[in-house]
Amino acid sequence: MNNNHDNHACTHSQQANPYTQSLEELDFSKSIHQACLQGDLSKVKAHITKKGSRVVNERDTAGYTPLVLPVFVRHHYGARSGHEEICKLLLENGADPNATTPELLSTVSTSRQRFSRPLSRAAAGNHIKVVTLLLRHGANPKLVDSGGQSPLHKACENSSIAVAKLLIEQDRGLIGVKDNRGRGPLDCCRSKDDEVVLMNALQL
């Protein structure tokens, strides 16, 4: 996935006003989103204190909510980097654990908008503490992304076996969910060993 913030200026056309771009970049550098991206808990707290809880669900110009950033530092803001304390703070202040955020999938022939959610990102990153936190605050493991994949698909796809087992404990029915290509979670396992571990967990 492209990092819309590292390449912030590239999201605008070449004709974009450079002064407007500079202001937007300055805006982002001072935002709660940047604080989440940097893993700066004290700055995140300061934003919430100053602006109130409403700020935890605000979207930046790329469409990301603060929660998805600590999860996603390697790729995204809150759930993917595994910054549990920031995720916990955001959730305790009313962050929506099921909010969709965009992913831009680009190929040679096409570019189309896709979406995902914090739980899927945390599952893909094997951040079991964040996954546990999200589930505790109402994240729905049955919700799928634009590719029809559940968080369990993402866990299996990325060899996040501990997370996969946790999700199965939450809802064994997840094992039967098929994505848009007709694949179940076990079909997405990277190795036969991973599949065997999960089948044993399911007692299949």
What's the whole-number mean pLDDT along residues 74-78?
A: 45
Integer distance in angstroms from the first to the last C-alpha of the chain? 35
CA dihedral 15, 62, 145, 53 (to 10 degrees): -160
Residue 190, pLDDT score:
83
What's the whole-number mean pLDDT along residues 100-124?
A: 70
Residue 204, pLDDT score:
53
73's CB contacts (< 8 A; 6+ apart) are: 37, 39, 80, 81, 82, 83
Residue 39, pLDDT score:
86
The helices-and-strands tally (H runs, E runs) of the chain is 9, 2
Which of 27-31, 66-70, 129-133, 150-154 is predicted least confidently?
Answer: 27-31
Distance CA 86, CA 164 (A): 23
> Comparing 146 with 12, which gets the higher pLDDT?
146
> Where does residue 82 fall: left (phi above 0), alpha (psi -120 to 50 degrees), or beta otherwise?
left
Residue 53, pLDDT score:
94
Asked if the domains 16-96 and 140-204 are classified in one and the same CATH topology, the answer is yes
113: three-class secondary structure by DSSP: strand
Distance CA 107, CA 135 (A): 33
Residue 3 neighbours by CB distance under 10 Å: 13
Residue 108 has pLDDT above 50, yes or no: no
Domain topology for 16-96: 1.25.40
Single-letter amino acid code for the residue at 141:
P
Residue 93 has pLDDT above 50, yes or no: yes
Nearest to 124 by CA among 197, 169, 86, 75: 75
The residues that bridge with 50 in the sheet, in sequence order, are: none
Ordered by start, the domain boundaries in the chain are 16-96, 140-204
Single-letter amino acid code for the residue at 157:
E
Distance CA 151, CA 165 (A): 11
Residue 25 has pLDDT above 70, yes or no: no
What is 140-204's CATH number? 1.25.40.20
